[in-house]
Homo-oligomer: A and B are copies of this chain.
Amino acid sequence: MKQVLILGAGKSSSDLIAYLLDYAKNKSVKLIIADADLAVAQRHVGIHPMAEARRLDAGDDSARKALIQEVDIVISMLPAFMHITVAKDCLALRKHLLTASYISEEMRALDPPVKAADLLFLNECGLDPGLDHMSAMRVIKAYQDKGFETVSFKSYCGGLLAPSAERDNPWQYKFTWNPRNVVLAGQGVSKYLEEGDFKYIPYHQLFSRVDKLSVGGVEYDGYANRDSLSYREVYGLKKLRTILRGTLRRVGFCQAWDVFVQLGMTDDTYSLAWTGDLTKRKFLNAFLPFDPNDSVESKLSRLIPQSQDAAIFQKLAWLGLFDHEVITPSKKTPAAILQHILEEKWKLNAADQDMTVMQHLFEFENKQSTIKVSSSMVCIGENAQHTAMSKTVGLPLAIACKLLLENRLSLRGVQLPIYEEVYDPILDELETLGINFKEVEF
């Protein structure tokens, strides 16, 4: 009987686990669900006959190895920095590995021994990265087969709120994935290629240089992700004149977020000092010039003129940034304090539905003509447990696991889901689960 180990049973594992529990019921497959908090793992397992919950401190080398030794396939939902440790165990113990995280240089370096051991370490098999690779490659392949070259590829993705959950919140945004990553998103320089020109956007310009997009009748702003250039090679697209990967936000979000960036509130490299209790207003004032005759509100307006815009000012005020409310963040970097303030206000309620949105924009060329194609996906979550984020991250992984269990994947080595053998059955099954891409030539 084959066994699967899921490392990490947090919120984003919900639909991955649900799918595999359901699958295990009908097949002779055993699931082990391990988490640092046994109760969290147990809540998923319940009285399931083929599943078992285990407590695991992932940093405990011998406990982790012993657990991995028991199974055939490991799915790591641990924090990304842990994947390489798990990967080395999997290689030593001859187990397949699946993750939804970006492939690291260290992970990539394992390719030859992983291939030699006849194993598959499939990475970037979640939402973004993952579903973006699969859905883009399917469209690209279809047009390649018709004799077209891909000359332009822009791809945007966002973890957002369903319209029903946006109403009580002027930001139209709540945290549906790692809050720290949301606060730090975009730091460094963003690199892309447009009509043959290499373009570079520094972080402090990123949120004011957005593209306008429309997906399913809703308007979005898209800002460029860190390094789009490397995807020319990943997708094997050498003739590209344009490549850009970006993040989607509801219109107005980026302009308001830019106030935090302009002020320096997302810096995670140093700790703030203050005297007495820290209030939200004092936090804001630390980034404003001293002026004995002027209020925080008016100093902000002078320093960051865009903050005078009523829609932006309202967003800041709704977070309480002008209030004398005392806060007690556990860390003292500007980014950690901002995250502390946001987490209280941007928490999903139990009934809140989230939404993941993806849009690819292609231009294909042959000798005669140019075709523009868009491919768009909108997935709406059920509630704060079974989120769209959990579905779109977890289901591709779950299906990849099923394919491996059923010996339907011949691919070996350290890989991404950019091969038909992987993405075709995953995308086909995702459609039956309500995750589908609408393709339009225009």
Which A positions have Cβ atoms within 8 angstroms of B?
Answer: 188-189, 191, 194-202, 204-205, 209, 229, 262-264, 267, 269-270, 272-275, 285-290, 292, 303, 334
Contact = CB atoms under 8 A, between A and B. Distances in A.
A120 to B, nearest CB: 33
Select the residue from A196, A209, A272, A289 with max chain B CB neighbours within 10 A.
A289
9 nearest CB pairs, A to B = A202-B264, A204-B204, A194-B290, A198-B273, A200-B286, A200-B287, A195-B290, A189-B270, A198-B274
B262 A205 contact: yes
Given A188-B269, A189-B264, A273-B229, A292 B200 contact: no
A50 B320 CA distance: 72
Given A189-B270, A269-B188, A273-B229, A290 B199 contact: yes
Contacts of A188: 269-270
Given A267-B189, A269-B189, A286 B199 contact: yes
A290 B198 CA distance: 9
A188 B264 CA distance: 10
B204 A262 contact: yes
A28 to B, nearest CB: 51
A191 B204 CA distance: 19
A81 B286 CA distance: 33
A209 B289 contact: yes
26 contacts: A188-B269, A189-B264, A189-B269, A195-B290, A195-B292, A196-B275, A197-B286, A198-B272, A198-B273, A198-B274, A199-B286, A199-B288, A199-B289, A200-B264, A200-B272, A200-B286, A200-B287, A201-B287, A202-B262, A202-B264, A202-B287, A204-B262, A205-B262, A205-B303, A209-B289, A209-B303
Contact of A290 (B191, B197, B262, B275): B197
Nearest to A285: B197
A200 B337 CA distance: 14
Given A189-B267, A201-B264, A202-B263, 6 more contacts: A191-B270, A195-B290, A197-B285, A198-B272, A202-B262, A209-B303
Contacts of A272: 198, 200
Nearest to A196: B275
Nearest to A229: B273
A200 B273 CA distance: 10
Contact of A198 (B189, B269, B286): B286
A174 B394 CA distance: 58
A20 to B, nearest CB: 41
A304 to B, nearest CB: 9
A233 to B, nearest CB: 13
Contact of A200 (B194, B195, B229, B334): B334
